[in-house]
Amino acid sequence: MRAIADSQQQPADHPLAGREMSGAEMIVQIIADEGIDVVFGYSGGAILPTYDAVFRFNKDNPGSDGNGALPLIVPANEQGAGFMAAGYSRATGKVGTVMVTSGPGATNMVTPVRDSAADSVPMVLICGQVPSAAIGTDAFQEAPITAVMGSVAKHVFLVTDPTRLEATIRTAYEIARTGRPGPVVVDVPKDVQNWSGTFHGTSRLEIPGYRKRLQRVTDSVLDDADCQSFLQLLSESDRPLIYAGGGVVNGNASAAMRRFAERFGIPVTTTLMGIGASDTTEALSLHMLGMHGMAYANYAVEDCDFLIAAAARFDDRVAGVPQRFAPNARHIAHFDIDPSEIDKVKSVSWHHTGVLDRDLDAIVEYADRVNFAKSFETWHDEVAALKRNHALDYDRESALIQPNAVIEAINAITEGEAIISTGVGQHQMWAAQYFDFREPRLWLTSGSMGTMGFGVPAAVGAQFGRPDKLVIDIDGDASIRMNLGELETVTTYGLPVKIVVLNNFGDGMVRQWQKLYYKGRLSASDKSLHRKDFVRAAKADGFEYAVRLDDKAKLEQTIAEFVGFEGPAFLEVIIDPDASVYPMVGPGQSYSEMITGDFIASRGSDDDKDVSQTESF
């Protein structure tokens, strides 16, 4: 990720410098100055002064469409607002911005804040708070937000001195976007919003420790000796493999990583969060590795002799048993912006903490300068064989609709160009496996937290951020229920978002684990929530196109109509309730013990797999 002196510093001659403003007006002006073009949030008593300031700002700045330069998008629930901001941020690279009221408004944001912190997504959350004099009195809709958010956000501010409000808001954006990105929470009492003072236009807080840490990363550049030592390891390798994490996307380093991989001819596999860093249609792309990664990607990890981790953290869904991960790798190199990630899970031979795109380009430049050359054609042939022999597959003869077939049909139309958001569960993994992604920031999913209900609001945020793109949410019947109210948000704002519900009448991923590890005891996963008529619900929320697909013979025709519909579209697909996600690396198992199911070729017999209950979901 990129760690630099904040690139959004305001000019010293801000045109409004010296003007008298309320605290609320300062908040809104800074949001506009930061280049934010949409705000998500839900109103309430403690945030009303700032909401009123947004209204007045938009009246004075009508925008090109006449609807205001800073639209304020209202969801059904504050959690929806948080995931909309996250979807906006993930799709655009900008800082998602949310404004909510105090108490329950703020506490409803805990999950999106933690979700964004876990996936390194930049966000600024501005919470209204009860008046300063009432803090600590259990006032109406008071909650201790600094305590609640302190352990889940990148940073939290409580503004008690109104003269520091302007500097605090501007610094919040700086912290959110720089270094390892993340969510910053600013708790603003109502009296601070109503206070009036002089707007300076440039002020920031003194945060010397944070800025010094950023500067150390910025100053940490690869010299010729570093590049030479890396190339020495590469020259000793016959089967190098790049393992790219979400930091490649978040750090806007995908182009540099692709140049690096192409220059040396190194195959690339990505984590769930790194999808899109590599063009999945390329011959040397191995798509996703890990618990539900491609069989061929996981086998390549088993075979590689030099693993190059780029902004990846060796998390448990990838390196479940660290000592057995990449067992044949004589060397591991690790690039990251966060020094705490180095050697945290897996010891490495070579590492560098710095700015990823700059570091990868430096190695390429040095290799060109010294005429470095090494052929990996034999390894390329092995990779091609892995992709051919262990390709994804499923029961194509079943009379029931297979979820894999649904995604294949959509992918045949979108060709890796659409923005895909998901909920969490089996549908998430099928989407990750079967969709192509030609660019970064086309894949939006809750990775580390695995938050059900993420899909629809994230799609809303992405569509506001990228109105030029086709946005499709792939969801499950259980996951979409978590934020079903946001269907109305889609139609209220006339967004052409496409929503697919793969309905298997229950928590499919939980059931898969219960069948494998709990002797088929379906505790609460075959629950009684089967009465929802999703098509009627979508129609009630204003979807003109709302269709149920339960006939396999009509799959391709229905998918084409659904994707081609000009406005918001909703499609429920009744899928095989027993369809499972494979491959699967079970708990406590290595990639060599991967379960590939009945339709994906394995290197060994599935009868040899130990699927004993070793740990929980």
Which pLDDT does position 433 carry in this prediction? 98
**Pick from 354, 361, 331, 335: which is nearest to 260 by CA?**
361
Q: In whole angstroms, what is the distance from residue 129 CA to residue 33 CA?
A: 24
- Cβ-proximal residues to 105 (8 Å cutoff; 6+ apart), any chain: 42, 44, 46, 47, 78, 127, 128, 141
In this predicted model, what pLDDT tens digit does every residue of 133-158 receive, in sequence order?
999 999 999 999 999 999 999 999 99
* Residue 115 CB-half CA count within 13 A: 29
Say whether pLDDT at 613 is over 80. Answer: no
Q: In whole angstroms, what is the distance from residue 181 CA to residue 1 CA?
A: 8
In this predicted model, what pLDDT tens digit does every residue of 231-284 receive, in sequence order?
999 999 999 999 999 999 999 999 999 999 999 999 999 999 999 999 999 999
Q: Which of 257, 429, 509, 594 is catalytic?
A: 509
Which pLDDT does position 514 carry in this prediction? 85
**Pick from 329, 363, 328, 362: which is nearest to 348 by CA?**
329
Specify which residues 6 forms β-bridges with: none
Which pLDDT does position 12 carry in this prediction? 59
Mean model confidence pLDDT for the chain: 94
Element at 422 (helix H, strand E)? strand 419-422
Torsion of the alpha carbons at 198, 199, 200 and 203, rounded to the nearest 10: 110
Q: Which of 8, 9, 140, 617 is catalytic?
A: 140
Which pLDDT does position 604 carry in this prediction? 67
Say whether pLDDT at 608 is over 60. Answer: no
In this predicted model, what pLDDT tens digit does every residue of 499-522 receive, in sequence order?
999 999 888 788 887 887 788 888
Told to judge if 509 belongs to the known catalytic residues of this protein, a careful annotator would answer yes
Structure-token pair, residue 26:
């300062």
Say whether pLDDT at 208 is over 70. Answer: yes
Which pLDDT does position 250 carry in this prediction? 95
In this predicted model, what pLDDT tens digit does every residue of 541-563 receive, in sequence order?
999 999 999 999 999 999 999 99
Long-range interactions of 260-264: CB distance < 8 A, separation 24+: 260/360, 260/361, 260/363, 260/364, 263/364, 263/367, 263/368, 264/234, 264/240, 264/367, 264/374, 264/376
In this predicted model, what pLDDT tens digit does every residue of 461-496 receive, in sequence order?
999 999 999 999 999 999 999 999 999 999 999 999
Told to judge if 94 belongs to the known catalytic residues of this protein, a careful annotator would answer no
Told to judge if 302 belongs to the known catalytic residues of this protein, a careful annotator would answer no
Kindly report which listed range (8-12, 286-290, 449-453, 592-596) carries the lowest average pLDDT score: 8-12
Q: Which of 29, 40, 57, 78 is catalytic?
A: 78
The answer to whether residues 308 and 333 touch, using CB atoms and an 8 Å cutoff, is yes
Which pLDDT does position 606 carry in this prediction? 41
Say whether pLDDT at 9 is over 70. Answer: no
Say whether pLDDT at 6 is over 90. Answer: no
- Identify the structural domains of the chain with CATH numbers, from first to last: 20-217 (3.40.50.970), 220-389 (3.40.50.1220), 403-574 (3.40.50.970)
List the alpha helices (DSSP H) in 158-291: 165-177, 190-194, 208-219, 224-235, 246-250, 254-264
Torsion of the alpha carbons at 274, 405, 383 and 250, rounded to the nearest 10: -10
Told to judge if 190 belongs to the known catalytic residues of this protein, a careful annotator would answer yes
Amino acid at 394: Y
Which pLDDT does position 434 carry in this prediction? 98
567 backbone dihedrals φ, ψ, rounded to 5° = -105, -160
Q: Which of 10, 141, 215, 228 is catalytic?
A: 141
- Cβ-proximal residues to 86 (8 Å cutoff; 6+ apart), any chain: 96, 112, 115, 116, 119, 121, 123, 444, 454, 458, 461
Q: In whole angstroms, what is the distance from residue 478 CA to residue 471 CA?
A: 21
Which pLDDT does position 278 carry in this prediction? 97
Q: Which of 154, 190, 346, 498 is catalytic?
A: 190
Say whether pLDDT at 614 is over 90. Answer: no
In this predicted model, what pLDDT tens digit does every residue of 27-37 receive, in sequence order?
999 999 999 99
Say whether pLDDT at 532 is over 50. Answer: yes
Distance of CA 358 to the CA centre of its chain: 23
Told to judge if 556 belongs to the known catalytic residues of this protein, a careful annotator would answer no
Say whether pLDDT at 530 is over 90. Answer: no
The answer to whether residues 415 and 436 touch, using CB atoms and an 8 Å cutoff, is yes
Say whether pLDDT at 5 is over 70. Answer: no
